[in-house]
Amino acid sequence: MQDADQHRFVASQYSSAANLDARAALHAHYSANSYGWFRWVWDQFDLRMGDCVLELGCGTGELWVSNAARVPAGMRLQLTDLSQGMVDQAAARLGDQPLAATFARVDAQSLPYPDGRFDVVIANHMLYHVPDRDTALQEIARVLTPGGRFYATTIGEGHMADLYTHLAAPDVGYRRRGAAPFAGFTLENGGAQVSARFDGVAVRRYPDELRITAVQPLLDYYQSMGLEGLETRLEQLREHLQRELAAKGSIRIGKDSGMILAFKPF
Ligand SMILES: C[S@@+](CC[C@H](N)C(=O)[O-])C[C@H]1O[C@@H](n2cnc3c(N)ncnc32)[C@H](O)[C@@H]1O
């Protein structure tokens, strides 16, 4: 995706939490792995008492809502996002939690912090949206202390590919226009990008799939994706999904999500 298109996509997708909420609702209700994505994400962290932690692209702050009871004593947290709407939503949700958190609108490509300020930087499902990703990775390395830990979740290339199979079915006939907005930083190509600036790069995957038993939440998900021209095929898609559900009892959508872990060289 071109930088200008990515910029437009991010601005319209994340001006408020509505699109992210529609997608989170589908995952929350129909994921086969009951362990829980945000619980698994937290399990991968090495967080220590007194750590100073920066999250980039924090969205609605769900990571911290889901793991509120697991936050180590004395941890200081800076939650940031490019979208002021997201920052406001995260602050509203986390304001009454006993977290030493501060909130700010920050672009990952230009971090307003001194060198070596943080022990940990977290970037969940957001680096694929950043046009100048190498500058963002350079900035992340700059604000980390030597040996500081970096965690970035993202998707694999086949993540939710079944969504597009349904769209391309003859009775729907929708063809995606333009490049996929998530292809620039995946579980397959992200490790090489991170290893240009970090050591100890590892990739871990969370096994899961969706088994969906109602059409409307899936349609809501499709509508949250910002797919150009989808509205003209929406009724065909609804009928196609209704037929699928009646024939199979549930609609399976494969997922492939995980984390890239690394640390700043000493
Ligand atoms: C898919 S959401 C992920 C939200 C959250 N991290 C999660 O895992 O639920 C991507 C987030 O990245 C933010 N974002 C996109 N580009 C960004 C940038 N250049 N700098 C900081 N945040 C950005 C968006 O506003 C959005 O909140």
- The confidence score (pLDDT) of residue 162 equals 95
Q: Is the CB of 108 under 6 A from ligand 1?
A: yes
Ligand 1, atom 11: closest residue by C-alpha: 57
- The confidence score (pLDDT) of residue 1 equals 64
pLDDT in tens, 163-180: 999 999 999 999 887 777
All domains in the chain, ordered by first residue: 3-159+181-208+257-263 (3.40.50.150)
pLDDT in tens, 216-258: 999 999 999 989 899 999 999 999 999 999 999 999 999 999 9
Give the predicted TM-score (pTM) of the model: 0.94
CB half-sphere exposure, 77, CA atoms < 13 A: 27
Q: Would you say residue 109 has pLDDT above 90?
A: yes
Distance CA 262, CA 111 (A): 19
Q: Which of 82, 106, 138 to mutate to test the pocket of ligand 1 (most atoms within 8 A of CB)?
A: 82
Is residue 244 within 8 A of residue 251, CB to CB? The reply is yes
Is residue 39 within 8 A of residue 67, CB to CB? The reply is yes
Is residue 81 within 8 A of residue 59, CB to CB? The reply is yes
